[in-house]
Amino acid sequence: MSQECTTDDCRNFTTEYLCTRCVSDLQAWLDRIPILLVELRVTIARQDNVRPAGGGGGGSKPGSAAPLNLDAWQLSENLRTAGKSAKDYAHQAHAAGSAWLIADWVTKAELLVSGPEAEHVNHHAIKTKLAQHDPGPMPTSDVVKWLKDKARIHITSMDIRNWVRRDKLTAIEPGRYPTYHPYDVLNAWHDTRV
């Protein structure tokens, strides 16, 4: 008897609880576990993310550091229970929930082992967008805030003053309260990093 796969947003039909595609996806997650278990051993032993003995909480008595990374240890224990075959899960009524949980554990374990990925910022696309939507001249503090919000770059008013002094940037209205086009400031910022 054919039914819809129990995985959310999967409309494939199957005779079991997981369709062939979802079984394949789950197997890909399961195949990552053996290597993660080895890498988690190193992370467990690290002293970089430990909880103080006695639960911490900022009490008046300092506790000694826990001898292991408890988050990594718990994930390692969870992953050990996952099994090795996605086909075994396909026959279980709770297969979709198990698949989601395994994917969550693997994702969290990979984050603990390697740390978060650096956010990629496409500066060329941002420059193109700002060139089309330049709000006009702004005081230094407003330019700094605007570029932080719109271009996701962090500069300081000191950076702007230094670029002016080094002739990498020219104020639109020089004087005690100079103004700048955000696009010009972005170009100066970019030029100092190329």
Q: Which residues contact 135 (CB under 8 A, 6 or more apart)?
A: 146, 182
What is the C-alpha separation between 135 and 138, in angstroms, rounded? 8
Angle at 120 between CA 188 and CA 163, to 5 degrees: 10
Q: Which pLDDT does position 80 carry in this prediction?
A: 93
Domain count of the fold of the chain: 2
Confidence bin at 116 (pLDDT 50/70/90): low
Note whether 85 and 15 are same-domain residues.
Answer: yes
Please write the tens of the pLDDT for every residue from 123-182.
Answer: 677 777 776 776 888 888 888 888 888 777 888 888 888 888 888 888 887 777 889 888
State yes or no: pLDDT of 57 exceeds 50. Answer: no
**Same structural domain, 136 and 49:** no
> Do 44 and 73 meet the contact criterion of CB atoms below 8 Å apart?
yes
Look at residue 58 in the predicted model and tell me its pLDDT.
46
**Shared-domain flag, residues 141 and 110:** no
Residues 139 and 72 occupy one common structural domain:
no
> Which amino acid does the sequence have at 112?
L
pLDDT of 31 over the 90 cut: yes
- For residue 11, the enclosing domain spans 3-114
The pLDDT value recorded for residue 190 is 79
* 87: CB partners within 8 A, 6+ apart: 23, 27
Q: What is the pLDDT of residues 59-96, one digit of tens each?
A: 444 555 556 788 889 999 999 999 889 899 888 888 88
Domain-ending residue, one of 90, 114, 138:
114
Residue 189 makes CB contacts below 8 A (sequence gap 6+) with 147, 153, 155, 159, 163
* Pair 135, 108 in one domain: no
Instruction: Confirm if 46 and 73 have CB atoms less than 8 A apart.
Output: no
Verify that 108 and 165 share a domain, yes or no: no
Is the domain of 18 the same as that of 80? Answer: yes
Pair 38, 84 in one domain: yes
If asked whether residues 129 and 150 sit together in one domain, one would say: yes
CB 1 within 8 A of CB 13: no
Percent of the chain with pLDDT over 70: 82
Report how far residue 44's alpha carbon sits from residue 113's, in angstroms, rounded to the nearest whole number: 9
* Same-domain status, 80 and 136: no
Residue type (1 letter), 122: N
Are both 72 and 101 inside the same structural domain? yes
Residues 43 and 90 placed together within one structural domain of the fold: yes
The pTM is what?
0.52
Please say if the pLDDT value at position 15 is more than 50: yes
